[in-house]
Structure formats: C-alpha cells, structure tokens
Amino acid sequence: MTALTVTADRTKFLRLALAADAVVTGGNGLIYLAFAGPVGELLGPDAGLLRGIGVFLLVYGAAVGLLAGRRAISPAATRAVIALNIAWTLGSIAAVITGVAGFTTLGAIWAVAQALVVAGFAELQIMGLRKAREQ
C-alpha cells in the first residue's frame, strides 16, 4: 500500500496520536536509561533490564516521532506501530502475571497502567488511520 498522500488536515488526528506516543515512549525510555538503579529498586526489575528497555524505548519513540513528522504517513508503518503497541501491552500483562520481571507491587501496578496507556495509543492510532482514509 502506498503512503497516504493527503493534506495535513486529513492526518492531523493520526499525527497527534503518533506524536503523543513518541513523546511518552521516548520520555519513559530516557527515565529507564538515566535512572535504572532507583527505578529498578522502586519497580522491581534489575537495572540492566531497565537500561535495555530504555534504549529500545528511545529508539522506538524516535522512529514513531519520525513517522508522525513525515509529509505522507505510511499506513503500513502505522499498522506496524499499532501491532508493536499491542504486543507491548500483551507482553506487559504477561510479565505481571508470570512474575518474570520480578515486579514489586508498585511495579506491577505501574506495568498494568503503562500497558493501558500503550493500548490507548494503539486505539487512537487505529482511529486516526481510519479517519485519514475516510476523508
């Protein structure tokens, strides 16, 4: 499928959903990377794991931000972002249920809350993609 070649008005909602995702994801990644020790003590996962997640989130956030800023937004790339957001949501819930990440109680609450936010971004991006196609 080709990129959406539409005016900014047609993709405004999608751009905002992608940009918000990029900012929140990048900010979260920066915190995990810069403060892995204290965050790990608070949430449970070890600092090495949090640093790895932080690097991933920074790169992912930057990629989503680049997508949001493109003149023509690729539906395929947007679907990939949505799929990764859904995978993150499911993975976070699985990590809480299985205990694999070693979350504290606060960490488990944080992971579920974060999963809900990421799921919300996925839903907003789905809505934005639909709005861009309708107009």
The pLDDT tens digits for 8-59 are 578 999 999 999 999 999 999 999 999 999 999 999 999 999 999 999 999 9
Per-residue pLDDT, 57: 98
For 96-112, the pLDDT digits (tens) are: 999 999 999 999 999 99
**Mind giving me the DSSP string for the chain?**
-PPP---HHHHHHHHHHHHHHHHHHHHHHHHHHHTHHHHHHHHSS-HHHHHHHHHHHHHHHHHHHHHHHSSS--HHHHHHHHHHHHHHHHHHHHHHHH-TT---HHHHHHHHHHHHHHHHHHHHHHHHHHHHHH-
Is the CB of residue 115 less than 8 Å from the CB of residue 93?
Answer: yes
For 124-133, the pLDDT digits (tens) are: 999 999 999 8
Confidence of residue 78 (pLDDT cuts 50, 70, 90): very high
- Tell me the whole-structure pTM to 2 decimals: 0.90
